[in-house]
Structure formats: C-alpha cells, structure tokens
C-alpha cells in the first residue's frame, strides 16, 4: 500500500521545527530510555518510574516521538523502532554520542551563526569563540573528550568498511595521520600481524590512545601534520582533509608526500560530493564550513588537491559506507 504524500505545509513545518526534534532526541537519550527499553516493550508508566519522569508528561512526550519514528506506541505500551535502536549507547554504530555532541553549546552556537559563514565564507566557530576548535577542545575537555569519543565511534564504523574494501599489505609500516585514539590503526594491525604502526596526532589526543594487544608493534608519536609526518610505507588520513580548506589540505598532502617511503601509498578516507550524494554528505558539506572552514569534495576537487601536492590518485574505492578510499602515490 502506498504511503500518502506529506502535505507541503507539514514538510515545511517539520523543517522549521527541527530544533524541537534535536532537543527531543537529546532528552530521550539523557533520560536513558533507549537503554531502559532495549529490545523490549514497556508501559509508559513503567518507563516513567524507571527514568524518574512525570508519567502523564512522559506519555505525551512518547506520543510525539512516535510521530517522528523513534518509538512505536500500542496503547500504553512502547518499544523502540529501528531508528530508536540507534540511540542505544551500548550498540555498535550508536548515534548516542553524536547526538550528545550535536546538542552541545559549541556546535549549537556555531550553527546559530550560519549567516556569518554564508556572508564571509569563514567558519562561524572561529567567530564565536575567537579560536579554532582544536585549541578550544584542548582547553575545554568537557567538549574535547566527548568529541574524541565520537571520533572513535566513527572510526569503529569506518574501520570495518575500510578493511573489507582495501587490500592492505602484509608487511611494512603504516602511519595513521591524525589517528585519534588509534582504533582504526589497531584494527588494521590486528588483521595484519606482520605490519608495524605509527599513531600520529596532537599530544592531548594521543595521550588517551588505546592500542590494546598491538601496542608492541605501534609507536605513538606526538605532533602536527602541518609540520612533519613520520616516514612510513603507507599513510592513512581518515576524515582529515574535509576538516580543512584547500590550501591547508594541500599543505597536509605535501607533508605526506615527503613522508612516503619509495613505492609507498597514501590512503584518504572521506565522503565524495556529487548530485547523487545523500543528505549525510550534504550536511557535512555545510557543517565543515560552519565549524572548521573545511568541506566535503568532488572527485575533480580531490584530483586538484593531489596534483597540487605532487601526488596522483591511483584508484577510488567504494566502501559501502558514505566514505570512499582514495589511494594515491607520488607522481
């Protein structure tokens, strides 16, 4: 049976009321209801007791959430939809930490100043806080810590896709440039027992690195990819270039080109923007501008970056995720 089209006014109302959806999802998560329900169904009164909420108010709240596809209500009984399951913090691929981040003041304030970015082409975050996000996160760990945790969550989501899509070498040294807490590098080294690794990132990031059982095959190096990158046979930049404008991205790639050993490769994992790209890609297309002054890029734009850095793209590999793997070598 075909679903009736949503009236134009209702579509416009839903878009205009997006702030309420964000707050509702955030509150739903803060109350711990996804973790209370899990795969079960409960009455709204039982849920209210479990999360210490006002029962009639919570029922009204759950009815609203049912209309935006987060829960299903059958009388007084409530259960999570597939969308609601993504808010369970204990499940792989959970959106819970990302939702927490998006609702925090720095992200909300940056988007409140979207007009500034559109009028100037500059990041709103810098205008609001008078410093770039990396310095801000270091000075404000209440934001920096959950941000890095969310980056680790994204690495967990992307690591499997990258491992399935790219044929990593059996031997040599891999450097994860801007590798955060090291989950992606750890996953690769676990799959390739003869490889050695270098985790490279800012000092306040790598101090919380977790390399598990591959720590004996992995060096942790503090530094900036705008200065000097450790030499390796394979360099990985996952979700790095989209943080930066073209000049900065070229500078990073030039430092990568200088660090590649003879016959080595660079792997960039990022989204591609095209007319066929989905809403996730286009959200980050704007989000990177507002937050960092960066951007998602088209194939042609990536080719220009790599060429300017003295590199040549050798293949672009779909991963079955929103990101692709771009392999490059020196020209």
Burial group, residue 223, by CB count within 10 angstroms (0-12, 13-18, 19+): middle
Phi, psi of 93 (to 5 degrees): 80, 15
Are 307 and 295 in contact, with CB atoms under 8 Å apart?
no
Buried b (16+ CB within 10 A) or exposed e, 11-30: eeeeeeeeeeeeebbbebbe
Q: Give me the sign of the Cα torsion angle 165, 239, 314, 278.
A: positive
Active site residues: 242
Name residues whose C-beta falls within 8 Å of residue 109's C-beta, 6 or more positions apart in sequence. 124, 125, 128, 129
DSSP strand pairing (77-80 vs 42-43): antiparallel
């Amino acid at each position: 049976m075909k679903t009736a089209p949503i009236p134009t006014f209702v579509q416009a109302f839903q878009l205009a009321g997006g702030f309420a959806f964000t707050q509702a999802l955030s509150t739903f998560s803060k109350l711990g209801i996804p973790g209370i329900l899990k795969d079960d169904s409960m009455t709204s009164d039982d849920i209210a007791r479990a999360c210490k909420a006002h029962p009639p108010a919570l029922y009204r709240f759950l009815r609203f959430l049912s209309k935006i596809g987060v829960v299903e209500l059958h009388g007084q009984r409530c259960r999570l939809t597939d969308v609601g399951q993504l808010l369970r913090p204990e499940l792989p691929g959970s959106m819970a930490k990302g939702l927490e981040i998006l609702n925090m003041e720095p992200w909300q304030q940056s988007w409140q100043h979207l007009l500034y970015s559109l009028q100037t082409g500059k990041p709103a975050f810098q205008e609001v806080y008078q410093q770039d996000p990396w310095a801000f996160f270091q000075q404000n760990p209440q934001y920096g810590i959950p941000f890095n945790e969310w980056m680790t969550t994204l690495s967990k989501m992307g690591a499997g896709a990258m491992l399935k899509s790219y044929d990593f070498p059996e031997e040599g040294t891999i450097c994860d440039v801007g590798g955060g807490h090291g989950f992606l590098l750890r996953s690769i080294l676990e799959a390739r027992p003869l490889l050695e690794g270098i985790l490279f990132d800012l000092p306040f990031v790598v101090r919380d690195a977790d390399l598990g059982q591959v720590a004996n095959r992995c060096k942790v190096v503090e530094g900036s990819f705008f200065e000097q990158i450790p030499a390796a046979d394979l360099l990985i930049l996952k979700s790095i270039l989209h943080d930066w404008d073209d000049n900065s991205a070229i500078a990073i790639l030039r430092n990568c080109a200088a660090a590649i050993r003879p016959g080595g490769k660079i792997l960039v994992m990022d989204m591609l923007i095209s007319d066929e790209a989905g809403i996730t890609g286009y959200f980050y297309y704007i989000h990177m501008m507002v937050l960092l002054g960066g951007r998602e890029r088209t194939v042609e734009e990536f080719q220009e970056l790599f060429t300017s850095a003295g590199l040549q793209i050798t293949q672009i590999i779909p991963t079955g995720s929103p990101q692709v793997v771009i392999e490059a070598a020196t020209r």
